[in-house]
Structure 1
Amino acid sequence: MASHSAVLQLNSLGYEIGGRTLMRDLDLTLNAGESVSVMGPSGSGKSTLLSCALGLLKPDRGNVQVAGVDLAGLNRRKLAEHRRSHIGVVFQFGELVPELTPVENVALAALLSGVPRATAYADAARLLDDLGVPRSDAATATLSGGERQRTAVARALVNKPGLILADEPTGALDEANRDSVADLLFSLPKRWECALLTVTHDRDVASRADRTLALTDGKLL
């Protein structure tokens, strides 16, 4: 993927729920190699914004393009395929399978995308080494919070997506692990030539991004 090519484009998005306007002609362009943090109080629409970028929610107005493709034009199967190929997600609590080992958790994401078993496990082991997760045959549930989030980052990267979405990725971590995981996340765009969109309440985490935006009155400022 060429540097500075648009990976995510949100064009004039509008979204209302329960009589509340969460997005009002909202625009955002995110390029390869670039990171953006979005801040805002609870209920301001940050998670809704990520859900639209994932194609899980359809905006009332406007369109979402990921890797140059308008998500609204894809049927359910094509949307799932496009999401697996182009988007990786890091959740606040990791959302890993606790009974599986770290390498099994990461390899699973590749296997679900049709990657051969040997390749999936080799890629998973290499990523975990690169991201500083100790090799272990223990269940992921036994890892520290920071190690689990690093495993979640590896899982998000294993299919080589152009776009990483992170939803409060450090919200469940102590200060030392927060800083370590945040430093790792915001190093990804340059190291992996991907784009990173993070929503967070943490101003210190948000400040690591190339751009920090506030979701206010339905717009990004």
Structure 2
Amino acid sequence: MRKTAVSSTGTQTALEFGSIRYAIGDRTLFDGLALRLGAGESVAVMGPSGSGKSTLISCALGLVRPEGAVRVAGADISGMRPRELVRHRAAHVGVVFQFGELLPELTPVENVALAALLAGGTRKHAYQRAEELLSELGISGLEVATGSLSGGERQRTAVARALVNKPALVLADEPTGALDEANRDSVADLLFAVPQRWRCGLLVVTHDAQVAARADRLLRLTDGGLHPGSSV
């Protein structure tokens, strides 16, 4: 059964799922799932465990190939070859994971700059951009190993890393799931300020209704599709 597309009010599309379908064995996760996410807009997706929230992130990254079109920053990544996909992802997508996925032995600046270097940036520009972002996000002057930072500081560093290449799209998979209440609220406030401040699209998947309520749109992943929902 075809699901109704969830339209974005953004003028420039950061992410589009064009009626995608995906199954694992005999279990259908997506059945005509559709979404448009515009630049400057945030969308939070909630749903029960096993509904496919993290798989949705993997589809946007090109790690899972569903049937149907997946467009990131205007380009259909569905048919891209591996090297082309890696380049496109590095240039246009930033990711924030639940546990940061930072290299604990590196400093915050080194972690953020590394993402820029891997995308082909020069050392000078990578470190300058990293220092500027970390300062803007309240993490500056820390010449210590990232592994010694608090959970909130690590997640702020992870947000800076996601933004360092000026992405069109930021993806966040349970970005506050490992934080206490105070750090959760601080990181969530920061994360949902990103779309307007940096003119990108933000897709967050979360179990936390209070985090999801900060998004411009809250959708629920049920019955293979995305449906408008509420945080209560």
* TM bin (shorter chain): over 0.9
Q: Distance in 2 between matches of 1:62 and 1:116?
A: 37
Q: Distance in 2 between matches of 1:191 and 1:102?
A: 21
Identity within the alignment, % = 67
Q: Residue 36 of structure 1 aligns with which residue? A: 43
Deviations along 1:108-130, whole A, 9 cap, x unmatched?
Answer: 00000111101100100010000
Is it true that 1:93 corresponds to 2:63 in the alignment?
A: no
Q: Distance in 2 between matches of 1:38 and 1:136?
A: 34
Note the C-alpha offset of 1:73.
2.4
Note the C-alpha offset of 1:132.
0.5
Alignment map for 1:127-142 (pairs within 5 Å): 127-142=133-148
Verify the 8 A CA contact 2:131 2:140 in the aligned structure 1: no
Note the C-alpha offset of 1:21.
0.6
Q: Residue 6 of structure 1 aligns with which residue? A: 13
Q: Distance in 1 between matches of 2:35 and 2:141?
A: 39
Q: TM-score, normalised by structure 2?
A: 0.93
Verify the 8 A CA contact 1:26 1:219 in the aligned structure 2: yes
Q: Distance in 2 between matches of 1:143 and 1:190?
A: 27
Q: Residue 173 of structure 1 aligns with which residue? A: 179
Q: Residue 71 of structure 2 aligns with which residue? A: 65
Q: Distance in 2 between matches of 1:5 and 1:130?
A: 25
Gaps of 5+ in 1: none
Is it true that 1:196 corresponds to 2:218 in the alignment?
A: no
Note the C-alpha offset of 1:134.
3.4
Is it true that 1:162 corresponds to 2:189 in the alignment?
A: no
Alignment map for 1:195-214 (pairs within 5 Å): 195-214=201-220
Note the C-alpha offset of 1:92.
0.2
Q: TM-score, normalised by structure 1?
A: 0.97
Q: Distance in 1 between matches of 2:84 and 2:68?
A: 20
Of residues 98, 108, 111, the one that matches 2:114 is 108
Q: Distance in 2 between matches of 1:167 and 1:55?
A: 15
Q: Distance in 2 between matches of 1:203 and 1:18?
A: 30
Note the C-alpha offset of 1:135.
1.5
Task: Tell me the secondary structure at the aligned position of residue 164 of structure 1.
Answer: strand
Note the C-alpha offset of 1:41.
1.1
Verify the 8 A CA contact 1:8 1:29 in the aligned structure 2: yes
Verify the 8 A CA contact 1:4 1:33 in the aligned structure 2: no
Is it true that 1:53 corresponds to 2:25 in the alignment?
A: no
Note the C-alpha offset of 1:74.
1.2
Question: What RMSD over aligned residues (CA atoms) do the two structures have, in Å?
Answer: 0.7
Gaps of 5+ in 2: 1-9, 228-232
Count of matched residue pairs: 218
Runs of 4+ displaced beyond 6 Å: none
Task: Tell me the secondary structure at the aligned position of residue 72 of structure 1.
Answer: coil
